[in-house]
Amino acid sequence: MQNILTKFAQAATRPMDYAKQWKRDTGGRVIGIFPMHFPAELAHAAGALPIVVQEDEEPITIGQSQVFSFYCGYNRSLIDQALRGEFDVLDAILFGDHCVQLLGTADVIRAHLPGKPILFNQLCSILDADWAMEETRATFRQLWLELETLTGTKIDEASVNASIRLFNRNRSLMRRIYDLRRAGETTLSARNMQHIVKSSMVMDKAQHTALLEELVTGLAQAAPKARSVRVFLSGHLCHAPKLSLLDLFEDSGCTVVDDDLYTGYRFIFADIDEAGTAIDGLASWYLTRSQKVPCPTRAVKGLDWEQYLLQAVAQSRAQGLIILMAKFCEPHMFFYPEIKEAFEKNGIPHLLVETEHEGVALESLKTRVDAFVELVGRRSSAEIASRAGATAV
């Protein structure tokens, strides 16, 4: 298992190196996909390697003068990578429209990489509107044609359906790992989980799925993990949390049992329907996924992120919530007051951690996390004592 996890870690931490090697080995095209709503299945069906472009660990230097300082670390990192030549391996970039900052990032990259094809598709943001299904179908039909033109490859229905089946299998295997995680039956750390999901955003899907099959078999035979404070991680809608943060949480006595992170359960929870046409399956996937795991950049009547989080925390038997909010992430900042109010009203401890590309002061944060763990522990002890007293009576 350790060999598999090492391969995942290498692809997750050095995605462009993996893309370069894949390109040398296959001669195929590499298409960068920016978060967070477009299906990679179409690019895969065209024979390309779709990779979700990640924030990297390098300090932001030459890109700093090309972007507003109030852009989040993810967008500033993307611009810096583009100017440093990290995106040279990409044959095209697929942008979405879910964030105003990301639109600005697209403009900067387009200006500095004029020869790089930029495919921009605007998806509807009101998911339960009467016209949403047909508009989404039209958007994905347009993307289908654009990818055919870009790759010079006719994308037939059978190829898309084959890609959908492969991607669904890949997601189902990662969901199986999440099931083991919630049940406390895996020794995998939060760092390991990040590598598993992030590598699925980068690696050849057949290769990644084969490794997952082997990993899941091994995990089912592993010893259960020792119990500690069970926490749910929420937030980080575009990019991965820094591994040092995850290590700090676990070193302080937390066990991450579930999440709604983009580089986590949000990325893998929804499969594409294999029964109907490919376009209908893709459109339904887009329109329903944010209705099951709410996204603050999409609108659905009567659906609130805080209510989802309350239910998710209860279902995963988490004892507290840790919210990771990227600095200057406006969609998340808009919703946080409602999340805070809901959790305080229900007496569930939560901790807000604001993150930045340049990192956070880990020592001061450790003090806050230690206090959070102690609070959760006291609350749990009080509940046990209360239940025991009620039983005695």
What does the pLDDT look like over 169-214, one tens digit per residue? 999 999 999 999 998 888 899 999 999 999 999 999 999 999 999 9
pLDDT band at 388 (very low <50, low <70, confident <90, very high): very low
Domain final residue pick, 99, 124, 151: 151
- 74: Cβ–Cβ under 8 A, 6 or more apart, which residues? 55, 238, 239, 326, 357
CATH classification at residue 61:
3.40.50.11890
Q: What percent of the chain has pLDDT over 70?
A: 95
CATH number at residue 236: 3.40.50.11900
Asked if residue 374 is part of any domain, the answer here is yes
Same domain, 256 and 365: yes
> Is 211 inside any structural domain?
no
123 and 239 both lie in a single domain: no
If asked whether residues 262 and 361 sit together in one domain, one would say yes
Q: Are residues 24 and 130 in the same domain?
A: yes
Shared domain for 236 and 99, answered yes or no, is no
**90 φ, ψ (degrees, to nearest 5):** -80, 130
* Residue 35: per-residue pLDDT: 83
Average pLDDT over residues 250-257: 94
Four-point Cα dihedral 109, 120, 284, 175, nearest 10 = -20
Would 215 be classed as within a structural domain? no
* pTM of the predicted protein model: 0.93
Asked whether residue 371 falls in the same domain as residue 247, the answer is yes
Q: What is the band of 226 on the pLDDT scale with cuts at 50, 70, 90?
A: low
Does 386 share its domain with 246? yes
Q: Average pLDDT for residues 357-380, to the nearest whole number?
A: 89
Q: Which residue has the tokens 């229905």?
A: 157
CA 359 from chain centre, in angstroms, equals: 19
Residue 349 lies in a domain: yes
Residues 6+ apart with CB under 8 A from 226: none
Decide if 164 is inside a domain: no
Q: pLDDT tens-digit profile of 32-64?
A: 998 878 889 999 999 999 999 999 989 888 888
Q: How confident is the model at residue 99 (pLDDT cuts 50, 70, 90)?
A: confident
pLDDT number for residue 300: 86
Last residue of a domain, one of 89, 121, 151: 151
The two tokens of residue 67 are 């972007």
Whether residue 156 is contained in a domain is answered as no
Q: 236 lies in a domain?
A: yes
Mean pLDDT for the chain overall: 90
Do the domain assignments include residue 94? yes
Question: What is the structure's pLDDT at 17?
Answer: 96
- Claim to verify: residue 243 and residue 125 sit in the same structural domain: no
d(CA 36, CA 139): 15
pLDDT at residue 129 tops 70: yes
Residues 88 and 234 in one domain: no
380 and 253 co-located in one domain: yes
Q: Are 151 and 217 in contact (CB under 8 A)?
A: no
pLDDT at site 272: 96
Last residue of a domain, one of 95, 120, 151: 151
**Total count of domains within the chain:** 2
Range of the domain at 368: 229-392
pLDDT digits (tens, 9 = 90+) for 297-337: 888 888 889 999 999 999 999 999 999 999 998 888 989 99
**137 and 271 inside one domain:** no
User: Who's near 98: CB < 8 A, 6+ residues apart?
Assistant: 35, 36, 37, 123, 125, 295, 297, 298, 331
Q: What is the pLDDT of residues 100-111, one digit of tens each?
A: 888 888 889 999
